[in-house]
Each structure stands twice: as C-alpha cells, then as structure tokens.
Amino acid sequence: MVQVGDQFPLMTEACEAIRRHVLDDGKSYALANKSDHKRFILTCKALDCKFRIRASNTKRGVKITISNSHTCTPATHYISRPAHSIWYLKGYHQALIINNQDITPAQI
C-alpha cells in the first residue's frame, strides 16, 4: 500500500514500491514524460483517467506527494505488459521457494 506521505530512503525503492502497489491492485500504468531523477510519476494508459502517483526527491528522502485512483474502465488494464514482466513475477516466485523448498519447477 502506497499513500501520500510515505517516505523511502532511495528513489529506486520508491519506484519499485509504487509499481508493485499498482500491479498488486490488478491495474496497469504508464510512465509519465515528466519523470526525471527528482520525480517519478506514473499515470494511466487511458488519457481521460485521473490516476497519478508521484514520488518526489526531498531533503529528507523520497516522499509520495500525489496519489489519485484510477477513474478508467477495468478493460484498460487487460493484458498489462508490466504485470507479466520478470521483474514483477520473480518477487513472488522467490517467496514461493523460500516458503516451500521442496517445490518443483513444474509446480511453479
């Protein structure tokens, strides 16, 4: 869960937490053109959607400064490429293996 006011020590940690939060929620995202080394902004693929999450680099670390929910239809998130990426899925498979070390590759 990511919400306004959450703080992270590094921008990379904030980026990963935000991306996971969106994907865990079954939604998708698009990286905003305004993102740079000081700001990380995710928007929606649908142009009329109000979804927006922004992490800003401040003197005290990285802070979530904007968090608006999706206002688009669920069809927007059908077949989301980031949700099927190795980056996202490997976190769940590592947890699965740690919990059950007798698990076979076929079961995964």
Is residue 70 a contact point for Zn ion (CB under 5 A)? yes
Q: Which 8-state DSSP code applies to residue 67?
A: E
Identify which range of 16-24, 64-72, 86-94, 97-105 contacts Zn ion by CB under 5 A. Answer: 64-72
- Please choose, from the candidates 64, 68, 34, the residue with its C-alpha nearest in 3D space to the C-alpha of residue 48: 68
Is residue 22 a contact point for Zn ion (CB under 5 A)? no
Please check whether residue 29 is in contact with residue 82, taking contact to mean a CB–CB distance below 8 angstroms: yes
Please check whether residue 67 is in contact with residue 55, taking contact to mean a CB–CB distance below 8 angstroms: no
Q: Which residue has the tokens 């995202």?
A: 29
Residue 76 beta carbon to Zn ion: minimum distance, rounded to whole angstroms? 5
Residue 37 beta carbon to Zn ion: minimum distance, rounded to whole angstroms? 26
Is residue 44 a contact point for Zn ion (CB under 5 A)? yes
Among 29, 40, 51, 64, binds Zn ion (CB under 5 A): 51
Residue 17 beta carbon to Zn ion: minimum distance, rounded to whole angstroms? 19
Residue 62 sits at φ, ψ, to 5 deg, of -95, 135
Q: Which residues lie near Zn ion (CB under 5 A)?
A: 44, 46, 49, 51, 70, 72
